Chain A
Amino acid sequence: MMHTLPPFVAVIRTAFLRIFSSPLAGLLNILVIGIALSLPAGMYILLQNAQSLVDEISGPQQISIFLQQDASTLEIEHLQKLLSQNEAISSVKFISRADALEGLKQSTGLSDVIAGLETNPLPDAFIVTPKSRDASYLENLRTSLVNLPKVAQAQHDTSWAYKLEAILKFARIAILILASLLSVALIAITFNTIRLQILTQRDEILVSKLIGATNGFIRRPFLYFGALQGLLGGLAAWLIISVSLHMLQSPLNNLSLLYSSNFSLHSLSVGDTLSLLLFSLYLGLLGAWLSVSRHLTAIEPR
């Protein structure tokens, strides 16, 4: 019974009972909030997965520097010194033409063809790892490296990763806009639900005011209602996302097997889940608060 519970728990219990006083309407409300939240949150998690996929495929950013065929050992040593002194470069690795040929033999299985070559066609090369991953920074570095003595070519092969990253950036902003719009919708849903709640509780509010209830006392259950509804909506969103990701996981496993990758979807982290729940709770509370401040003053005993 209600009167045996501490007041705080009793108010939550009342709010819970009111949400489900008509179970279908309550569930639908929670479902609407859940779907509205799961869209941006689900897209966000897919985006994060795409981001980690990009990171995995592109690996650490590297620039390959190919030297002219006639570069002497002395010139190579000089160049290595220059590169390792360069502020923008974090590591330098030299691959001699002989090593490169050996590597090619092993990795491609073309040993017979390579054995038939009269001279080694490969140049000496440096592989440098820059300190930053920024696209324009890399491009500047690349141009400056080309201009070094005895350098024939400098290239970074990951420009497609940058294009993808630009697309992801675009998608991130699109999701942000979507999330903002749906948050407003969520506030509106709560606003309206609370308005209806206030109308159905009209008698109770009037009587309570007549027998000495403060505005805070009257407001509290509605705020709890909004917050609880938001929280349950957040839980619904979490469930929708988790189930969807789970359903996507097995076809994706097949796909990544075909590409001989071991990429797997990661779901919402604990931190993400907490933020999702807190955010939805907060939005519900905000909607309720707006509604209560707007509608409660209109109910005065006369």
Chain B
Amino acid sequence: MISFNQVFKRYPGGYEALKNVSFEVVQGEMAFLTGHSGAGKSTLLKLIAAIERPNSGSVLVNNQNVGVLKEAALPYLRRHLGIIFQDHKLLFDRSVFDNVLLPLQICGFDSRESSKRVRAALDKVGLLKHEKTNPIALSGGEQQRLCIARAIVNRPTILLADEPTGNLDAEYAQAIMQIFKSFHQVGVTLLISTHDTTVLQDKDIRVITLKQGEVQDPSNVAETCNPDLS
């Protein structure tokens, strides 16, 4: 599903964010990506969504080398991904409902189907009663859940989350992890970057650790390449 093969990423100015990164996340798997700040977690996620391109090596998503995808093909790649951003990237000029509607508008869904899906997604994250609110009035945890609703409304096969529990207290974080697990149960592939140690306690879930741009324990890869993990 997601496969990194000897990937190097150097930013202009010479900073090496990723060094010789190889790993694989198979279809339906749920994995954590962890490491200190600046270890390359965000860069790694950006490479998957082709927001950044690798300097060398290949990043395969659905057997497609996204590192060399043409500009015009990027939108269609991203429609298969649900991305939960560290800074939410919500739009405060429209309601909660319309924020979640955006991905469906982009894909050209008809309005009746869209409304149904938006409400289902909002219901899933427990925000249905806030559908007419402006997201600026939501708490941090609610904004995070709104971001999740927007990421899943399009029913992506892969869900990427960058520090989804970053600024939340344990209770909220737990609730969000429960949401992720429920997606995992219906077969969505998840890659979640986090440095939240309480979240990482979960023994069932594989952890990929980055340290200064390198995958720390490659044995992890071999050991957990098992689709029926959970």
Do A and B belong to a common assembly? Answer: yes
Q: List the interface of chain A (C-beta within 8 A of B).
A: 2-7, 203-204, 206-215, 217, 301-302
- Cβ of B122 within 8 Å of any chain A Cβ, yes or no, is no
CA distance A130 to B102 in the complex (A): 71
Which residue from A5, A206, A212, A302 sits with its C-beta under 8 Å from B106? A212
Q: In the complex, which residue of chain A has the Cβ closest to the Cβ of B106?
A: A213
Ranked nearest first, the 5 interchain pairs of A and B with the lowest CB-CB distance are: A212-B79, A212-B78, A213-B106, A214-B75, A212-B75
A208 / chain B contacts, CB cutoff of 8 Å: 102, 106
Find the residue from B102, B106, B115 having the highest chain A CB count within 10 A: B106
Give the total of B residues in contact with A, Cβ under 8 Å: 30
Q: Are B101 and A3 in contact (CB under 8 A)?
A: yes
B111 / chain A contacts, CB cutoff of 8 Å: 3-6
B114 / chain A contacts, CB cutoff of 8 Å: 3
Provide the main secondary structure of the chain B interface: helix
Q: List the interface of chain B (C-beta within 8 A of A).
A: 49, 51-52, 72, 75-79, 81, 83, 85, 89, 91, 93, 97-98, 101-103, 105-108, 111, 114-115, 118, 150, 154
Q: Are B51 and A210 in contact (CB under 8 A)?
A: yes
Q: In the complex, which residue of chain B has the Cβ closest to the Cβ of A301?
A: B51
Q: In the complex, which residue of chain A has the Cβ closest to the Cβ of B80?
A: A212
CA distance A215 to B101 in the complex (A): 18
Which residue from B75, B83, B91, B108 sits with its C-beta under 8 Å from A204? B91
CA distance A292 to B194 in the complex (A): 38
Nearest CB of chain A from residue B21's CB, rounded to whole Å? 20
CA distance A213 to B83 in the complex (A): 14
Q: In the complex, which residue of chain B has the Cβ closest to the Cβ of A302?
A: B51
Q: Are A203 and B75 in contact (CB under 8 A)?
A: no
Q: In the complex, which residue of chain B has the Cβ closest to the Cβ of A207?
A: B89
B52 / chain A contacts, CB cutoff of 8 Å: 302
Q: In the complex, which residue of chain B has the Cβ closest to the Cβ of A2?
A: B98
Which residue from B49, B76, B79, B91 sits with its C-beta under 8 Å from A203? B91
A212 / chain B contacts, CB cutoff of 8 Å: 75-79, 81, 103, 106-107, 154
Find the residue from A210, A212, A214, A302 having the highest chain B CB count within 10 A: A212
Knowing that A2-B98, A3-B98, A3-B111 touch, tell me 18 more A-B residue pairs with CB under 8 angstroms: A2-B101, A3-B114, A5-B111, A7-B105, A7-B108, A207-B91, A208-B102, A208-B106, A210-B85, A210-B89, A211-B103, A211-B154, A212-B75, A212-B77, A212-B78, A213-B75, A214-B106, A217-B75
